[in-house]
Structure 1
């Protein structure tokens, strides 16, 4: 990997994003808007919002960055940009690292804005600090980026990229403990949720909500999410094709 080429790729991605106002709005403005709707739906019930709103601060970045990244990478292939780039000295790892850096910065901006809105406007209260919430939200967003890069290799059109959401995202949402405690799930479903990284991201946020200081469970959850993220990046580099047939 060449750090200079990776940073150059990140700079190019950020320039493209700066000219795509709709995508920037999707990344930055949609999470606060969804938090507003959630707060209104709960009719200002602080106890429930402290539980559900906290989890959504990690879930929204994961979903949005998966969607944006998978479509963006597919567009690079179908437009021929990826094929031209890979004829230069740039390596696949440099390309994916650049995407990770660019979307990671956007994810950090997204997380800071969403967390600020949740704490200052909607009075979200957690035992742990807001800094941990921001960090986990960014890690979740990077996980969405990694999964989006990996999934884009198996899509031929943007519509197909969107179709991967029910396959990759929805099962994780349903089994992560958002709708039912995992210890009350059927044994096979609980085992399935153990294999999903979003389960650990949700548990990490729950740990921040319940404990003032980092716990061993929190560190374990972060290590699992980070490990899956690295594996997805490696798999994405191995399956990255120059162009869509």
Structure 2
């Protein structure tokens, strides 16, 4: 999967909420982009997930202008305002809700079995605000992937929950190794840490695919023709 923003912008000029932005997200190493100001990480995430159309420029998926497909295949993970769980809800309540969205049985037994598999059973009745950052990023990413069509994750501002970015980046790298495209929309300091641990800079162009070298034509020797 390849998500591309091509000079995508929201608003115009100095008042633009998102100035023209070009970037790419694909499978392999998680991509990272630094986005400053309070609301811009959310807006960039909405663009990447196909939830809003840019005022100018393009957002494409596999080279096509198809926001419906992009929206279906992309999940926003812990995005403030639009995909952030209520801080006081228990973890098992949130998991049950996500199971329902994914069309899976959401009984307490199923939920607790799932949390046991992720070594999070002790947090079942704990408010989600108390979940350590590593577990939060991992759990919400895995829950998003329960939806059958999703093969890309947009992780928004995970640094706001604290913790060591290297730890939760490790779990994202493991998920990406399963063929999932991941982009982390974060701040400049966290971007630097993630790049040092192997993340790809989303602003850098993808390496061009090399054309296979043409084989030189073979000529038969006079002896072989006789």
Shorter-chain TM-score tier: under 0.3
Larger Rg belongs to: 2
TM-score scaled by structure 1?
A: 0.26
**Higher helix residue share:** 1
User: More strand per residue: 1 or 2?
Assistant: 2
